[in-house]
Amino acid sequence: MLMKTASQSLTEQLCTRFAERIRTRLLAPGARLLSVRQCAQQQGVSPSTVVAAYDQLLAQGLVEARKNRGFYVREMTVALDNTAPTATNLIASPVARGGFQAQHVPVNATALIRGMFHGSSDQPQPGMGVFPPDWLDTTFMPAAVRKVSSNRALRSFSLQYGEPAGDSGLRQSLSQKLVAHNVHATPAQIVTTVGATHALDIVSRTLLRAGDCVMVEEPGWAIEFARLTALGMRILPVPRRADGPDLEVMARYCELHKPKLFVSVSVFHNPTGYCLTPGSAHRVLQLANAHNFHIVEDDTYSHIAPDHATRLCALDGLQRTIYVGGFSKILAPGWRVGFLAAPTALVEAFVDTKLLATLTTPALLEKALAWCIDQGQLRRHAERIRTRLDQARARSVKLALARGCSFASPPAGLFGWVETGVDTDALSQRMLDEGYLLAPGALFHAERQPSTLMRINFATTQDAQFWDTFERLRAEQ
């Protein structure tokens, strides 16, 4: 709660609070500030104090006033010449048939990631995309690093750049590991990367050029929308359904726009938790073959998913598909070890792109990871995490339902896609004052739009205190 002091008025304190959140992207560009009345009630101040604070933010160029709509965080964006239509106006709009409208690079997509780095409080954070630190605290990871970091070993691989495609031992381990998912890739088809996001970026920079059309599932991970847009691609959002992408929309995109790439999270899709069905997978591959586009399958959540889950790369045999995986979710966010498995004809081009961006990847961590895989430590750790996550999910779902929420998709995997009944952008501002970082539904769309949905992390929403705070603030909106 704000308190008047000799050094700072209530207006100055409120302005400073919002300004800090805007500059650190905890309030994303395009986000709507609370109404004057709502903000006054929440902060325990008069409406005139809020008006004065908002006027200061206006003067600083941090917000803009939209007539009869309220105050919005200013968009700090770079305009591009072209954009793709949304799925909803694909057929009806003449723009969809003949051209593209103006688009902006959505820098607001990094708001959630900045929030993760910012550290709102010591409380478990419902909007986080990773497991809590105590879930990932293991003894085998330090042992693995010690195992591979003897003086002789360090001299052998740390005093030179290493292998362009990545540590050969790790690529051999990954080749064997992928067999469990029915994905058959030789070590020569695997390239290590600095996390899965880096792998996605290597694929995009190699296969695409500015202006190319890319199909991406919606709702989806905001960083993927923003990353592709920043590279100058035209985003074609494909609605994600329970069985897979909307095939009718994909087919129409193929006819009208000739996309070069489709990016998909087949298993435990983020944020819905949906898993691809075999029938849908076959039809996606048929479209790819008929219309000559590649498919990037992001299998980030493979460690908590059943091995028998349907994967496009398993059905296609890495012909038109490219498999992307990583270990930050299951081991440690800071390790940043990922990889891609690709058709043989594309591997050298991907290695070239990798070398231009990073020259190399950390051999020490790659060798340590290979040891964790080969010794069965990673497999046993993943089994423990899955058991713990199943228990956490059951508790979190029970708490959410008790607070009047519902689930837009059946709870599965790490994330829940929750219907709240209120604008979650506005709610996220209020929850931030209580020390909780939310992931509002607007973040998961190619074009930011009001949403009553939010994504929760089942591992960090088992606490009744969070849900009590959520229920209280929701009722005040």
Q: What type of residue is 241?
A: R
- Residue 387: how many other CB atoms lie within 10 Å: 10
Q: How do 70-73 and 79-80 pair as beta strands?
A: unpaired
- Residues 55, 58, 61, CA angle at the centre, nearest 5°? 155
State the CATH class of domain 161-375.
alpha beta
DSSP SS3 for 45: coil
Can you tell me the distance from the alpha carbon of 226 to that of 449, in angstroms, rounded to the nearest whole number? 15
Which pLDDT score, from 0 to 100, does residue 454 have?
Answer: 96
- Taking only the tens of pLDDT, the chain with its 477 residues reads 677 766 788 888 889 888 888 877 777 778 888 889 888 888 888 999 999 999 999 888 899 998 888 898 987 654 434 444 444 444 333 233 333 333 444 445 555 555 555 555 678 889 998 999 999 999 999 999 888 887 666 666 666 777 899 999 999 999 999 999 999 999 999 999 999 999 999 999 999 999 999 999 999 988 898 899 889 999 999 999 999 999 999 999 999 999 999 999 999 999 999 999 999 999 999 999 999 999 999 999 999 998 889 999 999 999 999 999 999 899 988 889 999 999 999 999 999 999 998 888 988 899 999 999 999 999 999 999 999 999 999 999 999 999 999 999 999 999 999 999 999 988 988 898 888 989 999 889 988 788 999 999 999 999 999 999 999 999 987
Read off the tokens for 73: 């965080």
Per-residue DSSP letters for 184-223? Answer: ---GGGEEEESSHHHHHHHHHHHH--TT-EEEEEES--HH
- Residue 37: how many other CB atoms lie within 10 Å: 10
Q: Architecture of domain 10-73 in CATH?
A: Orthogonal Bundle (1.10)
Per-residue DSSP letters for 223-266? Answer: HHHHHHHHTT-EEEEEEB-SSSB-HHHHHHHHHHH--SEEEE--
Question: Which residue in 30, 100, 51, 162 sits closest to 447, CA to CA?
Answer: 30
pTM of the complete model: 0.82
Domain boundaries, the chain: 10-73, 161-375
Query: Please, which residues have CB within 8 angstroms of residue 208's CB and are 6 or more apart in sequence?
Result: 214, 231, 233, 260, 261
